[in-house]
Copies of this chain bind each other. A is one copy, B any other.
Amino acid sequence: MRYRISELAEKCSVNKETIRYYERVGLLSKPSRTNAGYRIYPEETVHRMQFIKRMQDLGFSLAEIDKLLGVVDKDNERCMDMYDFLNQKVDEVQKKISDFKRIERMLINLKECCPDEKSLYECPIIDILMNEEKNSKM
């Protein structure tokens, strides 16, 4: 399956302009073109876009994603010091997982304080939260 830019955009739930933007900044390589100069993308680009979106959703910057894609592209330059980069990212990810678990508990606790399942007028738990912040080392 080959895609025109708007088909790719649709399939990946992004804006066409975003695809052109990613090309400009180097996240997507220059695609082949029709005679008239229309961009044509292979199926692979769909997966690449989905990978980018997923990583971005998790808070990775486009620069970090680009670095990781250096592996996919077997690009020597971007693969330099990949080990250290990966180590750092693994640490960050592990910290985030544990922070997210704390936040999950906090949100669930807060939720249980909403009296009519609508708003929230008072919550004794929030003081505990702030105290937790106080006692945890950043």
Which chain B residues border A76 with CB–CB below 8 Å?
A: 119, 121
Copy tally for this chain in the complex stands at 2
A123 located at the interface, meaning its Cβ lies under 8 Å from any Cβ of chain B in the complex: yes
Query: A99 and B54 in contact (CB under 8 A), knowing A83-B119, A104-B93?
Result: yes
The CA-CA distance from A99 to B126 in the complex, in Å, is: 28
A92 to chain B, nearest CB (A): 9
Which chain B residues border A63 with CB–CB below 8 Å?
A: none
Stretch from A1-9, A18-26, A29-37, A107-115 at the B interface: A107-115
Which chain B residues border A129 with CB–CB below 8 Å?
A: 51, 72
A74-94: which have CB < 8 Å to B?
Answer: 74, 76, 79-84, 86-87, 89-90, 93-94
Query: A71 and B104 in contact (CB under 8 A), knowing A83-B118, A114-B83, A120-B82?
Result: no
Main secondary structure of the interface of A (DSSP, over half): helix
Which chain B residues border A58 with CB–CB below 8 Å?
A: 59, 96, 99-100, 103
Which chain B residues border A97 with CB–CB below 8 Å?
A: 97, 100-101, 104
Are A72's CB and B130's CB within 8 A? Answer: yes
The CA-CA distance from A57 to B99 in the complex, in Å, is: 9
A52 to chain B, nearest CB (A): 10
Which chain B residues border A46 with CB–CB below 8 Å?
A: 134
